[in-house]
Amino acid sequence: MGKTLFDKIWDAHVIQNVPDGPTQLYIDRLYAHEVTSPQAFDTLRDKGLRVFRPQQVIAMPDHNTPSDQQECIYDEVGRRQVETLKRNCEEFGIRHFAMGTKDNGIIHVVGPEKGLSLPGMTIVCGDSHTSTHGAVGAVAMGIGTSEVAQVLASQCILQQKPKTMRINIEGDLPKGTTPKDVALYIMAQMTTSGATGYAVEYAGSTVRNMSMEGRLTLSNLSIEMGSRAGLIAPDDITFAYLKGREYAPKGAEWDKAVAEWRKLRSDDDAVFDKEVTYRAEDIAPRITYGTNPGAGIPVDGRIPTLEEIPEAERAGFLSQLQYMQFEPGQRLEGTPVDYVFLGACTNGRIEDFRAFASVVKGKHKAENVVAWLVPGSWAVRRQIIDEGIDKILEEAGFELRLPSCSACLAMNPDKVPAGKLAISTSNRNFVGRQGPGARTILASPLTVAAAAVTGKVTNPIAFL
């Protein structure tokens, strides 16, 4: 029987299998940011250990980084976390991309764009959205603080091998439907726990036709349905994206690497523990209505009625709607919004800003809307300026901000006030995720852009 892509990468990194226990797995790349790493470094100090292979660790602050200015972090806790990361990197000899420098950005945006995340790698970070890096054909997983310490000390981790699932999406996406909509659709079908215990491979003609930015978005959201990892087989689109990147192989080494990377695909006779298929033609631009990413509908659809919800789930369903100030059966198209956010490790790449600009060009920001447009890295910001997208945004009344996780989570100044409704390209709409009491609708860059110029939830198809 053939092997899945996940099995090939996993098996190539097994150091030993513990009888009746976990696998000791070798890790090629550890990413560290300021929030989950301090305790891991303290563990090393307590045990008198050094970082085993510091050249395979990359660190940068992103969660606490302000997007309006980066001279100073005024929040004491956030400032201390960023300063602690810098000191830890200096002490343990780790490469550190400091706040405000050309190499900095959101860790899950910077890794692929610099060629630090490569096909066939095992990649971990103390952050749930590490699954993003699986888009290049890697096994990428979020881990806990104690596991970060394991990797720092040994370049290995103890992990139970997950089951495998393949999600096929076949066909051509309808007008206005983006990879973000595909991810939101899959989560609504699978539920937020439907892939728990699995590593998911995305496949099918729809995925093969996606750009790398789109694949990164799709893999990013794997964790939101409970998956341990989400990966896509590398192909010519992957190689074209990675070629020439700062840390990617060069010259003869590049040719040798690509020859090996082409072998990274699931065998034709590989058997997955679970396999599902969706049709691209069934997917329309989508939004969420609840407080988890799986609670979603088409933009022109309606929230389910109480009778359409299984009786055991009704209490939770009503609790979500109460927080969001919505009603069963309500249509959200036309609902006024207060904030729009373009950015995050989900949709903070150049393609996302191009999409947003394509909608707002020649129009103007709605007066009732506060807009935060935040690139995922300094490299993305430079490309926005080089392509003149910043001028389109400025003429439409928008401000291009500085790279940061920004309003994806309430750990920096970009917080949505209590009760206000935000439409956001980020990855989570949990209670208080964008600020205490804030309400969040998740959507694609096109849908967010349409809301930014109309001041209300709007189907982007009308603007295309």
Topology of the domain covering 329-463? Aconitase; domain 3 (3.30.499)
Instruction: Write down the pLDDT at residue 463.
Output: 94
Q: What are the tens digits of pLDDT across the range 192-201? A: 999 999 999 9
H or E element at residue 421: strand 421-424
Q: What are the tens digits of pLDDT across the range 123-150? A: 999 999 999 999 999 999 999 999 999 9
Contact 141, 230 (CB under 8 A): no
What does the mean pLDDT of the chain come to? Answer: 97
Per DSSP, 387 falls in state T
Query: Residue 305: helix, strand or coil by DSSP?
Result: coil
The predicted model gives 228-246 an average pLDDT of 98
Q: What are the tens digits of pLDDT across the range 24-45? A: 999 999 999 999 999 999 999 9
Residues with Cβ < 8 Å from 237, sequence gap 6 or more? 208, 210, 211, 212, 215
Q: Which string of DSSP letters, residue by residue, matches 118-143? A: -TT-EEEESSGGGGGGGGGS-EEEE-
Instruction: Write down the pLDDT at residue 1.
Output: 83
The predicted model gives 385-400 an average pLDDT of 98
Q: What percent of the chain lies above the pLDDT cut of 70?
A: 100
Does domain 163-235+266-282 correspond to CATH entry 3.40.190.10?
Answer: no
Instruction: Write down the pLDDT at residue 428.
Output: 98
The predicted model gives 427-445 an average pLDDT of 98
Instruction: Write down the pLDDT at residue 207.
Output: 98
Per DSSP, 377 falls in state B
| Domains of the chain, residue spans | 5-160+236-261, 163-235+266-282, 329-463
Instruction: Write down the pLDDT at residue 20.
Output: 87
The predicted model gives 87-108 an average pLDDT of 98
Task: Compute the distance between CA of residue 141 and CA of residue 135 in angstroms, rounded to an integer.
Answer: 12
The predicted model gives 363-375 an average pLDDT of 98
Q: How many CA atoms lie within 13 A of 274 on its CB side?
A: 15
Residues with Cβ < 8 Å from 5, sequence gap 6 or more? 137, 201, 231, 233, 264, 265, 266
Q: Do 5-160+236-261 and 329-463 have matching folds? A: yes
Residue 7 has pLDDT above 90, yes or no: yes
Q: What percent of the chain lies above the pLDDT cut of 90?
A: 99
The predicted model gives 250-271 an average pLDDT of 98
Instruction: Write down the pLDDT at residue 227.
Output: 97
Residues with Cβ < 8 Å from 387, sequence gap 6 or more? 350, 354
The predicted model gives 346-364 an average pLDDT of 98
Contact 211, 236 (CB under 8 A): no
The CATH architecture that domain 5-160+236-261 belongs to is 2-Layer Sandwich (3.30)
- Hey, which residues does 298 pair with through a beta bridge? 286
228: left (phi over 0), alpha (psi -120 to 50) or beta: alpha
